[in-house]
Each structure stands twice: as C-alpha cells, then as structure tokens.
Amino acid sequence: MEVWAVIVAGGRGTRFGQPKQYADLAGSRVIDRAVAAARPTCDGVVVVLPGPDVGTVAVPGADVVVPGGATRSESVRAGIGAVPDGADVIVVHDAARPLAAAELWEAAVAAVVAGADAAVPGVAVIDTIKRVAHGAVVETLDRTELVAVQTPQAFRAAVLRAAHRAGGEATDDAALVEMTGGRVVVVVGDPDNLKVTRPADLDQAAALVARSTPAAGGPGR
C-alpha cells in the first residue's frame, strides 16, 4: 500500500499579512512542521508552493515541490499531478495546520485502507449554528449532526484523481468526492489541530507546542 501526501502551501497569506507557511513556529517554519508530520505515514511528500518560490525556497523532507494555481483546488490538482501513478492513497493536507498529530494521519489512512473512498477528521460543533439569508435567520441547524472538518484528508488515489478531473472548485477535496458520489467517512479530529489564519493563531499554536514539549529534565506528556 503506497501512500503519498500533498501538502498545500500555495497561498500568499493575505489575511495573515505574509506567507504564513514560512512563519516561525517555536523554532521551525510552519511548512516544515507540516511536512515532518506527514513523513512517518507517507512514502512520499509533494509540496505545493507559490510559483515564484519553487526553486528558491528549500523545503526539507519534500520529495517533489511544484507550483500551485490561482485557487486551492487548482493547487491540489498540481500536487496530485506530481504523485506517482502507483500510489494507492493520497492524503491532502493544508500546511496551515502544522500541528496535525501522527495519530490523525494514521486514522485517516486506515479508514481508506478499510474501504472508504475518503476519510476526513471532524470535531464536534459546540456553537449553535444558524443558516442566514439576506441578514435574516432561515433556520437553526441541529448541531448534533454537524462536525467541523480538518485536514489531513485521505483518499483512494483513483477516486481523488477522478473527482478533480472535472476541474471543480471546493473548499476541501472531500466535497469534490461527495459530488461524484464517493463515500466519505469521518474520523475523530483533534481540537488542537488548529488552522493558522491570523497572527493570533500562530501565538496559540506556539502555546500548544510549548504545552506538549517536556521541560528539560521533566517527564513528557
């Protein structure tokens, strides 16, 4: 069973104020932490960077670095195109989630190996969610049926390639698989697997890293 990862890091960091994938997080770049998280589970790693950075920005641990596109889906397609045809499972992960634990990668891949077309990590929604149109509430959704979805998301390689072949756009790749009738299952996500979107998120991530790092001479977690 050959497993490859596509690490999506093609954004310019408009909301963050700079390319967040290169920001320092407790002594390591965000992108480096994302790649390191993929390596224990995956046989190969493709990293998608902004076009001008390919060939000028080093990404240790990446097997292939390719330029991304104008949208997230275009960037994922560029990464998929660099994955060898023999890969059985492709895991797509946002570099902006640098704290994804090894257990999360393993759970997503295991669900696909067990027969799912795709597996996504999900965490329970704790807020009340309302659907709104034109500034007015249309309905209140049953939050017991809702999850907030994260990456890494694992896919049967053939299913993911087919889902992207039509050139559709979505905020995550599981949505494209859903559109083609694929079976997407949910594995237990991790509330600490936060997405770095704004500078304050990086501060929170640093605090999580500090919390999980054993003090010198002290016991680990």
Q: What is the pLDDT of residues 159-217, one digit of tens each?
A: 999 999 988 999 999 999 999 999 999 999 999 999 998 899 999 999 999 988 765 44
How confident is the model at residue 65, as a pLDDT? 98
Q: Is 202 exposed, middle or buried (0-12, 13-18, 19+ CB in 10 A)?
A: buried
Q: Is residue 149 predicted with pLDDT exceeding 90?
A: yes
Q: Is residue 153 predicted with pLDDT exceeding 80?
A: yes
Residue 181 near residue 163, CB atoms below 8 Å: no
Provide the mean pLDDT of the chain: 93
How confident is the model at residue 47, as a pLDDT? 98
How confident is the model at residue 214, as a pLDDT? 66
Which domains occur in the chain, in start order? 3-119+151-212 (3.90.550.10)
Average pLDDT over residues 146-150: 96
Written as one letter, the residue type at 116 is A
Where b means 16+ CB within 10 Å and e means fewer, 94-109 reads bbbbbbbeeebbebbb
Return the higher-pLDDT residue of 177 and 11. 177
Q: Is residue 90 predicted with pLDDT exceeding 90?
A: yes
- pLDDT digits over 100-142, tens only? 999 999 999 999 999 999 999 999 999 999 999 999 999 999 9
How confident is the model at residue 13, as a pLDDT? 63
Average pLDDT over residues 32-38: 96
pLDDT confidence tier of residue 51, bands split at 50, 70 and 90: very high
How confident is the model at residue 220, as a pLDDT? 44
Q: Is residue 14 predicted with pLDDT exceeding 70?
A: no
How confident is the model at residue 181, as a pLDDT? 94
Average pLDDT over residues 36-59: 96
